[in-house]
Structure 1
Amino acid sequence: MTARLPLFPLGSVLFPGLVLPLNVFEERYRALFRDLLALPEDAPRRFGVVAIRDGHEVAPAGAEEAAAGYAADLSGALYALGCTADAATVGEREDGGFDVVATGTTRFRLLSVDASGPYLTGEVEEVAEEPGTGSGALAADVARAFRTYQKRLAGARERSLAGSQELPDDPTVLSYLVAAATVAGTPAKQALLEAPDTAARLEEELRLLRREAAVIDKLGALPAVDLTRQVPSPN
């Protein structure tokens, strides 16, 4: 079964269960959130978040020819698997922009893009999450590796971790939390989002966490992005 969603391309990946704060200032996306606010109060305010491939930009508002070309060549601009976001709060500012807090809900596959309106929309189909084989045991290993990883990062910055945060017991929730918090570029995070099941995602995270922790141990250096900030909270 397919559905049509307004699309919000980002230079990062959203995972189910993770909170997404947005500062909306472009007119294209102001129109999107005006339309969401115009929905009945009890209607869900959902939109699709899709990551932009490295080296590409979405067409600017008003560039009709570029937008049409972009829609025709989806594979060159956007990844084909994204995450539905549910806008919990949408606040309009005096300058006409919006402060939005949304939460990722479910993965979807992007089947087509329509750039003919004031903002991008897409036909999507939901992608179910399967547990895979051995996800429970893998989750325990990933939780331990993630704790070690956090300590290595904090030590590399000569910082202390701000308290011990409980990690979720559910393997799928844990897999998305770790995917969001681990230092990695957009292609690597997108690969985690696209994992065929929870077990496969956890296996890849275990390799990633152990490799990066070993690098920090040997070199005393951090990867390009600093994870010593607080870990995102699952919904």
Structure 2
Amino acid sequence: MTQRRQEDATASLPLFPLHTVLLPGVHLPLHIFEPRYRQLTIDLVTEVVPDRMFGVVAIKTSVVREVERLEHVHGVGCAALLREAKRLPDGRFDIITTGHRRFRLLDLDTRSAPYLVGTVEWLDDAPLPEGGEEVGERLADVARAAHRRYCALAWDSDGWRSPSADVAPAELAYLLAADCMLPLSDRQALLEETQPLHRLRLACQLLSREAGFLSELRAVPPPYSEVGEHPARPSLN
């Protein structure tokens, strides 16, 4: 590998540890109240941080109150693109981000900036095997059916919609999972899977499992509108 390719394979990213997993292509609204992440938001808006991009990594346990070491977070995260930022009168921000590209966290810098900075290597999918496109299309049909069943049980009829028909199978698993109240460990497993067909199969299994729980227990998640109105809070780092 040439030096140029080695440089392209790694990057330095500001990090935002959260008690959630961001998936590529999925929107994540955040309420920014802590001073260090207010500064990060300002640096993103003013493009002190290039490309308005930062990394989201999931904290492994709620016991961790201050992320200081690699073992405090999951090793695979997702770069987030800042889409919108609204500054509130008291200096807080409401922002909307979108998952962009996965990475593996190699190193953690706690000193060079007010917020965490990570050295990351980009994590891409493995190529599809021979005949994989046809298999992917079949899996996509099954996964979409599982998604419809879950959403019909979980959300109001006007509270969700299926991903568009032109979404590639490699990205479909993320968008289907975004509508499902999955445990963090399941979302992290989807994020870490680099075989597109395996990821789509896993999404189908998870959606089917959750739909089964809803059907058997007659329990439903909070209304979809409430989930959207109360975005995930930043960690207390």
Q: Give the distance between the partners of 2:151 and 2:227, measured in 1 at CA.
A: 10
Percent identical among aligned pairs is 38
**How many pairs are equivalent?**
212
Contact persistence 1:149–1:210 (CA under 8 A): yes
Quote how far apart the aligned CAs of 1:229 are: 4.6
> Which of 55, 59, 78 is matched with 1:52 structurally?
59
TM-score computed with the length of structure 1 as normaliser: 0.81
Structure 1 residue 83: Cα displacement: 0.6
Give the aligned residue type for 2:188: Q
CA shift, 1:97, in A, is 1.6
Coordinate RMSD, CA, aligned: 2.4
Contact 2:163/2:176, CA 8 A, preserved across alignment: no
Q: Residue 8 of structure 1 aligns with which residue?
A: 16
Measured in 1, the distance between the counterparts of 2:88 and 2:21 equals 26
Distance of 2:93 and 2:195 partners within structure 1: 35
Alignment CA distance shift 1:229-1:14 (3 Å): same
TM-score, length-normalised on structure 2? 0.80
Partners of 1:47 and 1:86 within 8 A in 2: yes
Distance 1:7 1:40 in 2: 15
What is the aligned partner in structure 1 of residue 90 from structure 2?
95
1:135-154 to structure 2, matched below 5 A, reads: 135-154=136-155
Counterpart residue number, 1:208: 206
Q: Is the partner of 1:44 in helix, strand or coil?
A: helix
Inter-partner Cα distance in structure 1 for 2:91 and 2:160: 40
The answer on 1:74 being equivalent to 2:75 is no
**Whole-Å Cα distance in 2 between the matches of residues 16 and 227 of structure 1?**
24
In structure 2, what is the equivalent of residue 161 of structure 1?
157
Match of 2:119 among 123, 133, 136: 123
**Do the aligned residues in 2 keep the contact of 1:131 with 1:172 (CA within 8 Å)?**
no
Rounded to whole Å, the distance in 2 between the matches of 1:210 and 1:27 is 41
Ranges in structure 2 where 5+ consecutive residues have no aligned partner: 1-8, 229-237
Q: Deviations over 1:126-167 (max 9, x none)?
A: 11134644222111100011111112224xxxxx41177242
1:160-179 to 2 correspondences below 5 Å: 160-162=156-158, 165-169=161-165, 170-179=168-177
Moved more, 31-40 or 135-144: 31-40
Contact 1:161–1:228 under 8 Å retained in 2:
no
Q: Distance in 1 between matches of 2:225 and 2:169?
A: 23
Which residue of 30, 40, 52 corresponds with 1:32?
A: 40
Corresponding residue of 1:19: 27
**Cα distance in 2 between the residues matched to 1:216 and 1:98:** 35
Q: Provide the C-alpha distance between the structure 2 equivalents of 1:131 and 1:168, rounded to a whole number of angstroms.
A: 23
Distance in structure 2 (CA, Å) of the matches to 1:230 and 1:174: 24
CA distance in 1, matches of 2:227, 2:41: 28
Alignment partners' CA distance in 2, 1:194 and 1:130: 12
Alpha-carbon spacing, 1:21–1:163, altered in 2? closer, same or farther (3 Å): closer
